[in-house]
């Protein structure tokens, strides 16, 4: 063995191999050492470049939510479109090209209408499916000053309803995405982008006058927020400050585009988001005067509904942490991609009509006014009949219920349908229980006679059900428990308790 080692050691080839290995190890050590030194120097330089918090320095603020909106998300093609847009917004763009692009709009609205539209300033808050389609329609139609506000980024799951986003935009702030895509279509439009969540305490800034339009306030605000707290504060702020606003109610779980309307918020029906918004606004003293886009499509068996969270998420605890923001919903709301687009275009159409002065009938009160009048007359007739049965002179007899009260009870409390059968047609209001004190009017005030009826005494039924109820319960001496199943009695109890709780805010 020793002789073999001696022979190999004396071999010239073996000596060369050993020398090469030692040289490689030496070089590797030197390289690693240099890299370590350079890395440490770079770290030290980076640390030295960071000023102390209390030292004066220039820095961009990273928003609380989302990414840095100042970061570039532009491809070369986008950069060319952005460069053209910068020039166009500074006036370096042929007016004839703009007129040609808007020629169909001009022929519809007339030149003066288009001129007014082009000088308008619109704010869109929320750039999801509804907001992005609305923004695109307004820009393409000629609105030349648009401010967009949204804290969120484009996600893969939002591509089924976003008006302009592509796969390349996933991860991009929505405000940057919308502006980038629409600048390639209408380069002359001026944009202001706020990559942040709407907050009431920032309303003075987010809804401030346009910087380059001599202090001009927004001509219209579009509320496309799906969070109830933010929605209510935005609507309340606009109402209080006299800023015209239109709000989108829920497009989720809706599938019938022919059932989408624009009307006053006091008359919107069949929409949980609308119902909750109305109630919250009433707490602020606002019961009407805000136009909304809403669907009257009814929920039903087999239709989409809010998806429950998996049981394992509840077992983990901290379900609220699943929300994008505090107080934002964590559960998934199924959305057919076409419906937010319908809502967005309905809202954009309304805003265009309003700003251009084009005659239209949208935005009025509910189309159920005649129903409310009929129900009120029927209730008056029943109360007069009950009072007359007790020998009362019913001349001048009145009931302390208004048409607005009727609409409130039918739509808000009884969800637009009979509490007995669930039928939504031929509705009536009638007392639930016979009065212990009888039906004689209050006559303590000279010259007036009125029923002692209260809203919490009334339930919604069909006219046929109300006739039977009057005969058996109000005039026949039976109790509701004698006539109806326990589940109906329980449901009525919940609805009347709900009315008593809501009455304090009316």
Q: Is the pLDDT of residue 77 over 90?
A: no
The C-alpha atoms of residue 360 and residue 290 are separated, in whole angstroms, by 16
Identify the band that residue 173 occupies on the pLDDT scale cut at 50, 70 and 90: very high
pLDDT average, residue stretch 227-232: 92
Name beta bridge partners: 18: none
More confident site: 307 or 226: 226
Write out pLDDT tens, residues 460-492: 999 999 999 999 999 988 999 999 999 999 999
Percent of the chain clearing pLDDT 70 (strictly above)? 82
The C-alpha atoms of residue 119 and residue 144 are separated, in whole angstroms, by 6
Least confident of 55-59, 65-69, 175-179, 410-414: 65-69
Q: Is the pLDDT of residue 323 over 60?
A: no
Q: How many CB atoms lie within 10 A of CB 456?
A: 16
User: Kind and range of the H or E element at 168?
Assistant: none
- pLDDT value, residue 288: 85
- pLDDT value, residue 396: 80
Write out pLDDT tens, residues 384-403: 898 888 887 878 888 889 88
Q: Is the pLDDT of residue 324 over 50?
A: no
In degrees and rounded to multiples of 5, residue 422 shows phi and psi of 80, 5
Least confident of 166-180, 187-201, 213-227, 266-280: 266-280
- pLDDT value, residue 212: 56
Q: Give the CA distances from residue 402 to residues 247, 281, 368, 443, 455, in Å, rounded to whole numbers and listed in that order.
A: 27, 20, 14, 20, 10
Name beta bridge partners: 146: 122, 191
pLDDT average, residue stretch 422-438: 91
Q: Is the pLDDT of residue 230 over 80?
A: yes
Strand bridging mode 245-248 / 220-223: parallel
DSSP secondary-structure letter at 417? S
Residue 450, burial from CB neighbour count under 10 angstroms (0-12, 13-18, 19+): middle
Q: How many CB atoms lie within 10 A of CB 499?
A: 21
- pLDDT value, residue 316: 45
Percent of the chain clearing pLDDT 90 (strictly above)? 48
Q: Is the pLDDT of residue 327 over 50?
A: no
More confident site: 318 or 260: 260
- pLDDT value, residue 144: 95
Query: Which stretches within 128-286 are classed as H helix?
Result: 129-141, 174-183, 203-206, 228-240, 272-283
Structure tokens at 174: 């929505």
pLDDT average, residue stretch 146-163: 94
Q: Is the pLDDT of residue 366 over 80?
A: no
- pLDDT value, residue 73: 62
Residues 6+ away with beta carbon under 8 Å from 47:
none
């Amino acid at each position: 063995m020793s002789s073999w080692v001696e022979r190999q050691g004396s071999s010239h080839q073996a000596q060369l191999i050993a020398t090469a290995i030692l040289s490689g190890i030496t070089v590797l050590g030197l390289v690693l050492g240099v890299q370590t030194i350079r890395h440490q120097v770079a770290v030290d330089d980076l640390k030295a470049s960071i000023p102390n918090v209390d030292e004066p320095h220039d820095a961009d603020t990273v928003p609380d939510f989302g990414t840095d909106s100042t970061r570039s998300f532009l491809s070369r093609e986008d950069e060319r479109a952005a460069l053209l847009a910068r020039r166009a917004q500074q006036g370096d763009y042929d007016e004839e090209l703009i007129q040609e692009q808007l020629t169909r709009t001009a022929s519809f609205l007339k030149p003066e209408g288009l001129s007014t539209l082009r000088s308008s300033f619109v704010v869109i808050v929320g750039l999801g499916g509804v907001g992005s389609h609305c923004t695109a329609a307004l820009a393409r139609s000629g609105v030349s000053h648009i401010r967009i506000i949204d804290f969120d980024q484009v996600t893969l799951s939002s591509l089924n309803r976003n008006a302009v986003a592509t796969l390349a935009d996933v991860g991009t702030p929505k405000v940057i995405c919308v502006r980038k895509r629409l600048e390639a279509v209408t380069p002359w439009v001026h944009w202001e982008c706020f990559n942040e969540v709407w907050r009431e305490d920032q309303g003075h800034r987010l809804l401030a006058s346009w910087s380059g339009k001599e202090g001009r306030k927004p001509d219209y605000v579009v509320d496309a927020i799906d969070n109830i707290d933010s929605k209510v504060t935005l609507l309340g702020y606009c109402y209080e400050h006299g800023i015209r606003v239109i709000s989108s109610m829920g497009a989720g779980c809706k599938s019938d585009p022919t059932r989408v309307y624009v009307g006053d918020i006091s008359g919107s029906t069949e929409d949980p988001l609308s119902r909750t918004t109305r109630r919250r606004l009433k707490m602020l003293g606002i019961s009407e005067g805000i136009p909304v886009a809403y669907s009257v499509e009814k929920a039903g068996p087999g239709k989409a509904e809010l998806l429950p969270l998996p049981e394992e998420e509840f077992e983990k605890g901290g379900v609220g942490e699943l929300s994008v923001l505090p107080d934002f919903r964590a559960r998934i709301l199924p959305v057919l991609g076409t419906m937010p687009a319908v809502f967005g275009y309905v809202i954009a159409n309304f805003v265009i009509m309003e700003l251009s002065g084009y005659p239209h009938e949208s935005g009025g009160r509910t189309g159920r006014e005649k129903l409310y009048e009929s129900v009120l007359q029927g209730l008056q007739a029943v109360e007069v009949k009950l009072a007359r049965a007790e020998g009362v002179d019913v001349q001048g007899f009145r009931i302390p219920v208004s048409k607005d009260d009727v609409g409130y009870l039918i739509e808000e409390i009884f969800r637009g349908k009979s509490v007995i059968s669930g039928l939504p047609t031929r509705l009536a209001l009638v007392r639930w229980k016979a009065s212990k004190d009888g039906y004689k009017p209050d006559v303590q005030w000279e010259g007036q006679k009125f029923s002692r009826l209260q809203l919490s005494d009334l339930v919604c039924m069909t006219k046929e059900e109300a006739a039977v109820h009057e005969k058996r319960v109000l005039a026949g001496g039976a109790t509701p428990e004698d006539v109806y199943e326990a589940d109906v009695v329980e449901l009525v109890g919940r609805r009347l308790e709900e009315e008593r709780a809501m009455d304090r805010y009316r």
